[in-house]
A and B are shown apart, each in its own frame.
Chain A
């Protein structure tokens, strides 16, 4: 794959001094403050939904934006982790933290299995293979007894975090979810900015050259896939806790497409892009619920328009604007 358009904008922004390490620290500091205050201004459940999807999309972006691998089956990890966490909390009665950890662990193992097979082909085949395996997971979710089939898993208990924080309180739950998001986001941020992340980018830019320089490209791809799947699983487990239900829509191919849309809209290959895209898509779906079937049509139209004319994404466009109006 070639360099995503948003990445070129962010490189230019660094070069021109629009982004500096100091500005970056201030920006993230403000974000944390905003994240802590926001539940008192906006409906917390909506915010938690955005945070879960933002983590999901950021994890996905590690593959598409930074490694150049289009996984078209990431819903498999989100949904599987959600089902596992939901079942463990509801039917086994595990503590919240263990339930979330177990869901994440299962998604990580699943990511290792699917990833190891999918990286045997590259390019567009990789997308088709991940889509195929995700569909297999979907059919398993339809048939297996513990998923509740068409009804899904309902009434997942939220329990108490650390044994004493009651998570049925929306504010307590919000800060719990915010902490998980911050943790997941930090893992992704560190991965991107580590030497490992630079090798991933070199694979995206020129796989043959990375290979000829002696990097075990397949191994790097697999590790990136496993990290991405695991964090997508963390997002899915958290989402199950927030909404208290998991249904087949969480493993459906629409969901896999949705995360691509978030990343594309926000700006693939940028740190903040997927989160911005997640906010936009979740908000859009929230406000459009009254339109029924038109939601799919509108989402499709946004998708087509984004691919045709908006490949930098919002973050890429913002950086492009900042380049022309430096401050």
Chain B
């Protein structure tokens, strides 16, 4: 029983990261129409910024939780302003290819500078330890990750679905030209949306740093799974991507308990099944 709940907790944590990343991916795709392959690299960059901040500048976990996503977001804004925006009038596969190249560059640079071995990031003092719930042991930091991820996801949902800013965003997703005709600065909105999306990935990276080893390749394996999550859930709905992300994390955890060999492939197998019975994705709305 302990083992089952342990694996489910790991699944829940992974699922929280899937949810955070697929949320950012959906927001960017919705307005900017780019599938950001570099999302995983931005997640890795966020984790690395936090680690570098701690090991060479003495910046702790809490300031990093704000500073690192900010830095990643600024990086995203710079990339969008200087390069990515030249591709908007083209087919959106060029955006995918561009961000793929960007991933290679970013990963290669970190790899060159910090090697391939994992760097561990200590759990902040306030969140050390844990409590025994009777049926399982719950480390405090892991509970924190799940709570914060869910909170951030719902805050994003609230902003997008219930505020004026979110209304602009949704309008831009539906018809950017019309929105621009109403006097809204759509190009600026796209820049900020891209920046916010990748900042979200950077934030997930900082959250992940004390759990996983910080390595240059930590993001690329993850982003491919997140793509599968996006195919399964469909990018149409925000709540959909949150539910799908966490749900698939749990399924993965369950598989790790029942049949560990299949844990790394179960998400792709589910993708195959979903494509067979509901090609548009569980929450998809296109066509």
Q: Does A131 sit within 8 A of B, measured CB to CB?
A: yes
B89-121: contact bitstring with A at CB < 8 Å (1 yes, 0 no)? Answer: 011111011101111111111011000000000
Contact with B along A299-312 (1 / 0, CB 8 A): 11111101110010
Q: Which B residues touch A13, using CB under 8 A?
A: none
B101, A301: Cβ atoms closer than 8 Å: yes
B101 touches A296 (CB 8 A): no
The answer to whether A253 and B220 touch across the interface, beta carbons within 8 angstroms, is yes
A135-B224, A300-B103 as given contacts; A2 in contact with B108, CB under 8 Å: no
A127 and B93 in contact (CB under 8 A), knowing A121-B279, A296-B104, A297-B112? yes
Cβ distance A308 to chain B, nearest Cβ, rounded Å: 6
Q: Are B92 and A300 in contact (CB under 8 A)?
A: no
The residue of chain B having its C-beta at the shortest distance from the C-beta of A126 within the complex is B93
**Of the residues A135, A143, A308, contact of B87 by C-beta under 8 Å:** A308
Q: Which residues of A contact B109 (CB under 8 A)?
A: 297
CB within 8 Å of A: which of B33-76? 35
Least CB separation from A118: chain B residue:
B275
* Main DSSP-derived SS at the A contact region: helix
Say whether, besides A264-B97, A300-B101, A131 and B227 are in contact (CB < 8 Å).
yes
Q: How large is the interface on B (under 10, 10 to 19, 20 to 34, 35 or more residues)?
A: 35 or more
Q: In the complex, which of the residues A140, A143, A257, A295 contacts B100, with contact meaning CB atoms closer than 8 Å?
A: A257
Chain A residue contacts of B213, Cβ below 8 A: none
Q: How far is the CA of A139 from the CA of B221 in the complex (A)?
A: 11
Hey, which chain A residues are within 8 Å of B94, CB to CB? 307, 311
The reply to whether the CB of B272 lies closer than 8 angstroms to some CB of chain A is yes
Q: Are B220 and A304 in contact (CB under 8 A)?
A: no
Is the beta-carbon distance between B268 and A132 smaller than 8 angstroms?
Answer: yes
Q: Assess whether A163 is interfacial by the CB under 8 Å rule.
A: no
Let me know if A303 and B108 touch, CB within 8 A.
no
- Residues 103-135 of chain A, each 1 if its beta carbon lies under 8 Å from chain B, else 0: 000000000000001101101110111011101
Chain A residues within 8 Å of B98, by CB: 303-304, 307-308
Contacts of B265 in A (CB 8 A): 136, 139-140
B86 at the interface (CB under 8 A from A): yes
Give every chain A residue within 8 A of B101 (Cβ-Cβ).
299-304, 306-307
B276 within 8 A of A: yes
Q: Give the contacting residue for A120; candidates B91, B220, B221, B279; CB below 8 A.
A: B279
B231 interface neighbour in A129, A297, A306, A307, Cβ under 8 Å: A129
CB-CB contacts below 8 Å: A67-124 with B: 70, 72, 117-118, 120-121, 123-124
**CA–CA, A120 and B94, complex, Å:** 21
Q: Is B93 touching A70 in the complex (CB atoms < 8 A)? A: yes
Q: How many A-B residue pairs have CB under 8 A?
A: 125
Cα A136 to Cα B267 with chains together (Å): 9
A1 at the interface (CB under 8 A from B): yes
Taken residue by residue from 6 to 31, chain B's Cβ proximity to chain A (1 for < 8 Å, 0 otherwise) reads as 00000000000000000000000100
- CB B221 to nearest CB in A, in angstroms, measures 8
For residue A214, CB closer than 8 A to chain B, the reply is no
B108 touches A297 (CB 8 A): yes
Q: How far is the CA of A299 from the CA of B108 in the complex (A)?
A: 10
Instruction: Let me know if B181 is at the binding interface, CB within 8 A.
Output: no
Contact present for A132 and B87 (CB under 8 Å): no
**A293-B112 contact, Cβ under 8 Å, with A129-B271, A300-B102, A311-B94:** yes
A118–B272 alpha-carbon span in the complex (Å): 9
Give Cα A140–Cα B93 distance, bound, in whole angstroms: 28
Alpha-carbon distance between A264 and B90 when the two chains are bound, in angstroms: 15
B230 located at the interface, meaning its Cβ lies under 8 Å from any Cβ of chain A in the complex? yes
A300 to B99, CA, bound (A): 9
Cα-based distance from A118 to B231 in the complex (angstroms): 11
A308 near B83 with CB under 8 A, answer yes
The reply on B264 being an interface residue by CB < 8 A is yes
B120 smallest CB distance to A (angstroms):
22
Q: How far is the CB of B259 from chain A (nearest CB, A)?
A: 12
CA distance A1 to B94 in the complex (A): 10
Contact across chains for B112 and A70 when beta carbons are under 8 A apart: no
Contact check, A127 vs B96: say whether CB atoms are below 8 A apart.
yes
> How far does the alpha carbon of A117 sit from the alpha carbon of B232 in the complex, in Å?
13
Q: Contact at B97–A123, with CB atoms within 8 Å?
A: no
A62 contacts partner chain B, Cβ-Cβ < 8 Å: no
Pairs across A and B, CB under 8 Å, 19 listed: A1-B91, A72-B96, A129-B271, A131-B224, A132-B227, A132-B268, A133-B271, A139-B264, A293-B111, A294-B108, A295-B108, A299-B104, A300-B103, A300-B105, A303-B101, A304-B102, A307-B101, A308-B83, A308-B98
Q: Which 10 A-B pairs have CB atoms at the shortest separation, nearest pair first?
A: A303-B101, A300-B104, A296-B108, A297-B108, A300-B105, A136-B268, A293-B112, A304-B101, A120-B279, A132-B228
